[in-house]
Structure formats: structure tokens, C-alpha cells
Structure 1
């Protein structure tokens, strides 16, 4: 039987490092890779996972395969503040007292979640309205406002990470700030093993969502592209991503992602030209989506929300670069070719 990357288990990826895929049923990503690092005093994790009813059983069963226990976990380094990465770290801290570390720029997201007290993507709803997509925003609100929300899953970390070396005996790790997917996203270079824990910043088969986070909208795609180039400024390493198979080179995938966005900029410009002028929604409708080149109207509401926000992110960068003109008309940004 063929084993896929998301199948349950505990898989060695380097000396003293194992990968545990924690399941995400009902989510298109299928699972999140949590990395277990053996240290002189126990275990450390890169990312915590999504707190669900079965997650603790999953991780204890996986750790048992290498003769380890969850109570050995003393530190968890979270790449970013999304719930599939953060919330189970908080549950592990409640159970075992381990310390949680998160990028300092994620304080905006943590505070916004605490203020909202729900899963409503407030910032995305705001940008959907700016994109001329109030119906998508209305449905997104209805879909999220009733979702179960546990405020305790979003307690603050024990420390806020800045760029630089991490104190983790047996692992020569350096934290690098890579904003874009979220404001405080971090990747962690393992200097001795020639690997990088890339979080959602660099994924092997998909592009991470851009513009789907809480807080001010501050040209997230521009920041993401700058963060991709930052990965090319350092030596190449093996990619240990949060979703998907391990083992690919970081540089090759970064170049693919940069090329993808260049194609997307060209397609976005062409769509605005065909439309004479366009909103985030109208341009998103004029493009195709996913690797299957699906029409916009075949996407469910959640993915229409993501697609519209990503289109708006591309349009904003093109306007910032002087390629497009933008005029706000009754709260909706309208873009035209300069």
C-alpha cells in the first residue's frame, strides 16, 4: 500500500528529527506536519497542530512509535498564528507545561482574535467589501459566526520570537521573519542538518493564501514576495514544510513560486485590460483557479473569498508599482490600466 504524506505515523526526516502528520478532516489540506526534535532534555516541536477532540490521541500514538511521550515536550516553536499551527500547542501547554514561542509580529493576530471572540475573518470581510464582493462577505460571516470557538485555545505564547538563533541544545536553529502569509510568519533554518522548517511560507505543491489574516491590510503580497527573495539570499536547504512531502530543495520551489506570481500578475493585468476597469471581484471572476484552472463560479464560498482577497492583493501590488490606477468608488476600489 502506498503511503501518502498525510497518513498518520511518525516518520524520520533527519538525525534526531521526526515528522508527525496530524489530521485535519474536512480541510482540503488534509493534515499538518508537526516536527518532533529530540533534545538533551526531552522533545521540542516545530508547530503545534489544530486542537481537535482526537489530536492528543493522535500525537501520543505517533510518539509511542519512537518510544517517546507527550510529557517530554518542553518547547513548541510555532511558525505562525493560524489555528492549524497554534491551537493544539496551547492544549499541550495546559496538559504538560511546555513553553510556546511565536513570532513577535503575530501579536496583532492574537489580540484581534481575543477581541473578536469568534472565528469570523473580520479583516477578510472588510477587504471583500473593498473588492465589491458583499454577498461573498455576507455568506462568509454566516458560515463562520456559528463555528465552535474556544477562547482558551488562543492564549498568548510564553515568548515572542525575534530573528536570530534559538536556544535548543542539539539543534542549531535560526529564526527568520518571513511576513506575507501572516504578519509574523517565521521559518527556522537548521544550520547543521541543512534543512529549513518552512511553515506555510514555502509549500511543495500549492501557494499559501495571501491576504487572509486579521489586522490591517498592508500589501501582504508585496511582503510575501520580498520574503521569498529572502530565502534565495541564503544557502539552499531541504524543505520541511507544514503541508506536503519533505525533501525538495527550497531554492527550486521558491523560484517556481516567484514565476507563478509573475504569471499571475500578467493574467491579472490582462483581465483588467479586457474589462476596461475592474474590481477585485470582477477580476477574480475573469481568472481561473487552482491547478485545475477552475472557473471562479465553481468554487465554494470560502474559496471564492480566498480567491477574491488574493486577486485584490495582486491588484494592490500592481497599483503600488504604478502599473494600474485605482479609484475608490463608494467604498469599492476600481482598477484601470495606467
Structure 2
């Protein structure tokens, strides 16, 4: 099938490069609407980069989309998963139960996979308290308690990708590159010969990925993310194959936009602290959210939680840069402007 002329969420299998097909799969009740899975032909089957959310609706669409290019679910030889979020990982687990398909995932995801298997959420509640968002704890706990018990389950992968390494996929070689930030163990897959970047959620064409809210949180997740963005600038400019949104021609162009966005956001965050907001929660309530600059109170609960976590990530970078200082009192982290100093006259 061709590249498609409709919305990027339109169902189907769309050839984005010779032997590579983009397959959008649905995300029910999710603002992102769909996730792109990429099927790479190997000569004897396909390897999938990411897998989709392990729901029957998504599995049926994956089956029909693969069928349109001559493959069945049992022809999937391997999953190369960019990160452990449910819309990328859990379909792989479901299909492994059916067909024994192998799953590879970045080693940095191990602490959060273990937390997901154990159902560990207390660390997230503690983080909200530290960020001054204790009013969100009980609603989030209730939201977690109300989740469908039949939701997709987590399991460990067959293979941990320990760092940068080459992976043979049919006649092509993909370079797995750790890109922590959106999650601790996010990886992208670089096909330099075909000039393609299978970017997962690391580089998205229209939105910025969430940063900083996971059970086993990195010490400086936004700092990791900015470093991972700059790392993409050390590769040749590649075609962007994102997990959410349409294919784009230039990774470098979007990386530059994302770096500029976060510098602007850091400046806005510092200004909010100078205006008297002392906690991540208080700062988040002063900032605009989404491309429409929505007020914090108009967001749904889970996006409010993500917004506070992302604000904390920006505040911590400002502390690391010595633009702000922080202290902890009664378990809540407070941020203050760094006093200006002047040299000798």
C-alpha cells in the first residue's frame, strides 16, 4: 500500500521506505489516538519496531494490516521495542504468549518493568507529595484502583539491549542507541544505510514527549533527554519515523525545534519561581499546557500528574545549572531564585 494521503491515524499498512511499512494501531481513550508500529521485511517474515497496546481491537487491526502486505501475526520474528510504555510494549507480550515471538528492550527499562510487574505505585505517590501535589494523590490512587483487572500485563523481555549495538534485521543493520529521557531505558534504532530513524517517542513531529513520571525515576530525566536529543545531531540527518504522528523528512530540524522549546520552557519555569511559585505543583499551575497553552485546571487528572512531573524535571535542570536553588521541608521540595552575586568593583 502507498504512503497514504489521509490523517496519520488512518488504518492500514503504508510503505515509508523499501521493505518498511508504517502500521498505525488504535489507542482507545488516549489523546494520542494511535501509535505507529513499523514492520520491516526480512525475506522470511517481519521484525516489528514497537508493538502497540495489547488489546483485541489493536491486535485485530495489526493482523489485517500485516495481511495486506502478505504476512500473518505468526510471521513476526522479533519485536524491537523502543520503551516499556503500554502502547509500545504490551502487544508484544500478548503475541509472545501466542507465538513465542522474542522481545528485545533497552536495559535501562529494567527497574520500571520490575515495578510494573509488581504493581508498584507508591513511589509515584511519594513523588507527588515531594512536588507539592499532595491533592492529586488520592484521585490518582482511585484511578489506579479502578483500572480494568483484565488490562494488558507486563512481563520481562527475552533480551535486554545493554547499550549501543548493531542488530541484524534481514539484510539491513539497525544500530540500537540508548536515548534516555522520556523513559530511563528508551532506545532508538538507526538505519544509516537507508537513512531512517525509528524514533519511538524520543523525537515526535508535533508534540513533546512527557518527561519525569515513572516509578523508578532518573535523577535528572530532562537533562538526560536534552543530552539524548543532542546525540541525534551527531548522526547524519535521517528520515524521522515517529511513534506518534506522520513521517517527517528531517530528524535534525525537529531536534533543533525540541531543544529550543525546552530552553523556552526552562525560562518560563524560572520566571514562575521568581514570581513566587515555590513547588513544582505551583509552577505547573502558572504554565500553559499543550500547543493551545491550556490552563492546568482544564487537563484531566493523569495529564495534570504528567504536567507536574515534567515541571519538576525542568526545575531540577535549573537547579543543576545553578539558576535556582532547592531545599526540602516536611517532605516537600521548595525552589527559590539563586541570589545574584556581583564581583568586586
Q: Which residue of 2 aligns with 1:28?
A: 31
From 78, 84, 87, the equivalent of 2:87 is 84
- Is structure 2 residue 337 aligned with structure 1 residue 334? no
1:124–1:309 Cα contact (<8 Å) kept:
no
CA apart distance, 1:152? 7.1
Residue 46 of structure 2: which of 43, 46, 57 is its match?
43
CA distance in 2, matches of 1:292, 1:75: 39
User: What corresponds to 2:69 in structure 1?
Assistant: 66
| Secondary structure of the corresponding residue to residue 286 of structure 1 | coil
Partner of 1:239: 240
Instruction: Please state whether the residue corresponding to 1:334 is helix, strand or coil.
Output: strand
CA separation of 1:305 and 1:152: change in aligned 2, threshold 3 A: closer
The CA distance in 2 between the partners of 1:7 and 1:33, in whole Å, is 11
Q: Deviations over 1:272-309 (max 9, x none)?
A: 1111x510111111111110011111112111111111
Alignment of structure 1 residues 181-200 onto 2, 5 Å = 181-200=182-201
In structure 1, the residue matched to 2:13 is 10
Matched residue of 2:170: which SS?
coil
Instruction: Flag the 1:325–1:231 CA change in 2: closer, same or farther, 3 A.
Output: same
CA distance in 2, matches of 1:133, 1:217: 19
Deviations 1:93-132 (A, max 9, x none): 1111211000011111111112226xx4x44322211111
Whole-Å Cα distance in 1 between the matches of residues 132 and 333 of structure 2? 8
Could you tell me which runs of 5 or more consecutive residues in structure 1 were left unpaired when the two chains were aligned: none
Secondary structure of 1:86's aligned partner: helix
Query: TM-score, normalized by length of structure 2?
Result: 0.94
* Structure 1 CA distance for aligned equivalents of residues 136 and 90 of structure 2: 27
Relative to 1, partners in 2 of residues 1:72 and 1:225: Cα closer, same or farther, differing over 3 Å? Answer: same
Structure 2 residue ranges without an equivalent (≥5): 339-345
Q: Name the SS of the counterpart of 2:203 in structure 1.
A: coil
> Structure 1 length normalisation: TM-score?
0.95
278 and 2 in structure 1: CA distance in 2 versus 1, 3 angstrom threshold? same
Which of 52, 55, 71 aligns to 1:52? It is 55
* Partner Cα separation in structure 2 for residue 38 and residue 154 of structure 1: 27
CA–CA separation in structure 1 for the residues paired with 2:45 and 2:331? 54
Write out aligned runs for 1:1-338 (5 A): 3-116=6-119, 120=121, 122-149=122-149, 153-162=153-162, 163-275=164-276, 277-338=277-338
Cα pair 1:88 1:153 within 8 Å, conserved = no
CA RMSD in angstroms, aligned pairs only:
1.5
**Distance in 1 between residues matched to 2:59 and 2:294, nearest whole Å:** 37
Aligned to 2:341: none
Q: 1:55 and 1:287 mapped to 2: Cα distance?
A: 35
Structure 1 stretch displaced more, 208-217 or 105-114: 208-217
The alpha carbon displacement at 1:336 in A equals 0.6
Q: Distance in 2 between matches of 1:266 and 1:318?
A: 9
Question: How far did residue 2 of structure 1 move?
Answer: 6.0
Shift of 1:167: 2.1
User: Residue 324 of structure 1 contacts residue 337 of structure 1 at CA under 8 Å; is this kept in 2?
Assistant: yes
Question: In the aligned structure 1, how far is the partner of 2:34 from the partner of 2:333?
Answer: 36
My pick for the range that moved more, 90-99 or 260-269, is: 90-99
